[in-house]
Amino acid sequence: MPSFFSNKKLIVLLTSLIVLIALISYSLKEGTRATWIEQFVQDVVGGFQYVVNVPARYAAGFFQNVNDIENAYKENKRLKENLANYASVEQENRDLTSQNKELKAQLDLKNDPSLSDYTKYSATLIGRSYDQWNQLLTLDKGKVNGIKNGMPVITSGKRLIGRISKVGNFTSKVSLISNDQNVNQISAMIHPKNGGAIFGMIEGYDQNKGTLLFGKIPIKAKVKKGQEVTTSGLSGKYSQGLVIGTVTSVSTDQYGLTKTAQVKPAADLDHLNYVLVIDKKTQVSFDGGKGN
């Protein structure tokens, strides 16, 4: 017996075993309530997990945000490209619609019964001079197509825009009615509703107002705003009945002898694409000759 208790290692082992059994018994007795040792271990482990987990979650969130930003940038770029394509398609559709409308008006003009006495040449605008002293258009038709100097040029509705001033083999120049070189070259008239006709001359163009100057109107003539002005055919340079424009205002000259009217051109001279060059057909006389 004394030798047994003298063995210190064995005593320590038995004591530790007793303490362990006691702790286990206490834990089973307490049920779900943690011991102070368990609480200590849990707190240490939890703290370590927190220290490791928080930076990890922050890093993961950061890279996720970077990825979201990159995806948003790509999506925004794609949407901008689609929007640009949509705008381009929409503009192209407007251009095609406008072109189709102009071509239809051109076809209707060629089939206009009131122009049956004219030879008609369809032409496309291929060039333009915008300076106010030399307002000229270049058409894609010339001598080989039958175009000659002096031929009137119109758009839909028989609206006069000018006349052929120079002809090449394959192209021709059109001098607009707004060209100052056309002064005193267009004989014009107004047809009032009450009958009769009022004659005068297109004498120039007011660049500031964008109106033609219709002068030499008799002082007693009753010219009113809104009346339509057409070619009279008296000068021989333009056939009768081509629409020049609409009266916007009327004034009397400083001597009280004649009246002058401001006339807004019927054709939009700034936006022209397709035109019609017309020529009065020659009439064959009874003796077999040709007359005008």
Distances (CA, A) of 106 to 113, 124, 149, 236: 14, 11, 22, 25
Secondary structure E strands in the chain:
118-129, 136-139, 152-155, 159-167, 172-176, 186-190, 198-206, 211-218, 228-231, 243-252, 258-265, 274-280, 283-284, 290-291
Is 76 a member of any domain? Answer: no
- Please report how many Cα atoms fall inside a 13 Å half-sphere around the Cα of residue 3, on the Cβ side: 0
Residue numbers of the domain that contains 207: 118-280
What are 186-224's pLDDT values in tens digits? Answer: 899 998 877 788 999 998 888 888 899 999 999 988 899
Is 221 a member of any domain? Answer: yes
d(CA 287, CA 289): 6
* CATH number for the domain that contains residue 170: 2.40.10.350
- pLDDT above 70 for 40: no
Is 72 a member of any domain? Answer: no
More confident residue, 92 or 235: 235
Residue 204 CB coordination number (10 Å): 18
Judge whether 156 and 106 are in contact, CB under 8 Å: yes
**Confidence band of 62 (pLDDT split at 50, 70, 90):** low
Is 34 a member of any domain? Answer: no
More confident residue, 24 or 262: 262
Looking at residue 262, its pLDDT comes to 94
Is 51 a member of any domain? Answer: no
d(CA 202, CA 184): 6
Q: What is the mean pLDDT of residues 99-128?
A: 75
Least confident of 75-84, 174-183, 205-214, 277-286: 277-286
Is 240 a member of any domain? Answer: yes
Q: Which amino acid is at 139?
A: L
**Confidence band of 248 (pLDDT split at 50, 70, 90):** very high
Least confident of 36-45, 160-169, 205-214, 247-256: 36-45
d(CA 62, CA 56): 10
Closest CA to 278 of 183, 178, 160: 160
- pLDDT above 50 for 87: yes
Could you tell me which residues are beta bridge partners of residue 96?
none
d(CA 149, CA 207): 26
Residue percentage of the chain with pLDDT more than 90: 26
Is 74 a member of any domain? Answer: no
Kindly report the average pLDDT of the chain as a whole number: 77
More confident residue, 291 or 36: 36
d(CA 180, CA 135): 9
**Confidence band of 231 (pLDDT split at 50, 70, 90):** very high
Specify the length of the chain in residues. 292
What are 6-27's pLDDT values in tens digits? Answer: 567 777 777 777 766 766 665 5
- Please report how many Cα atoms fall inside a 13 Å half-sphere around the Cα of residue 245, on the Cβ side: 25
Q: Which amino acid is at 32?
A: T
Number of structural domains found in the chain = 1
Is 218 a member of any domain? Answer: yes
Looking at residue 120, its pLDDT comes to 87
